[in-house]
Amino acid sequence: MSDFPIVMVGVTTPVTLYRGCHGREMSHLIDAMRSNYELGIAPHPAARRAIALFMAVSMFEDVDVVRRNAQRRPDRIGTHLATVELRPGLGICRADTASRGHWSIWGLPGQLAECVVDVIPIDL
């Protein structure tokens, strides 16, 4: 049992968030929308508190948070910045599960990738 509440809600109005990725091609975007669970990557320590977090992807409200994280860990976070406009009607869910401005997102990787409206390189 989790030691903190996770309140998952469906996306009912458009929401703009940001995520790192490794390029502009659709294959890069789909890979960026895969959870650590799906990619076979060890869970983040926070995901050990609730396995649902292991099956989510992290997105952020603040573009600078993604940029700073990518500059520190381009191999893991990415070399590009994706602007993601989550839309209602796709079964996408989100939860406020970590630090302020961090969101855990659940959805099909292809549908999440279709929500990407812009991709720009990050100055590393």
Both structure tokens of 99: 């630090």
pLDDT at 34: 97
pLDDT at 3: 62
Provide the phi-psi class of 99: left if phi over 0, else alpha when psi is between -120 and 50, else beta. Answer: beta
Q: Which amino acid is at 28?
A: H
Q: Dihedrals φ, ψ of 94, to 5°?
A: -145, 160
Residues of the chain predicted below pLDDT 70: 1-4
Q: What are the boundaries of each domain within the chain?
A: 9-121
pLDDT at 1: 44
pLDDT at 5: 80
Task: Count each helix (H run) and each strand (E run) in the chain, helices first.
Answer: 6, 7
Q: What dihedral do alpha carbons 85, 87, 91, 95 form, nearest 10°?
A: 60
pLDDT at 49: 80
pTM of the model: 0.92
Parallel, antiparallel or unpaired: strands 93-95 and 9-10: antiparallel
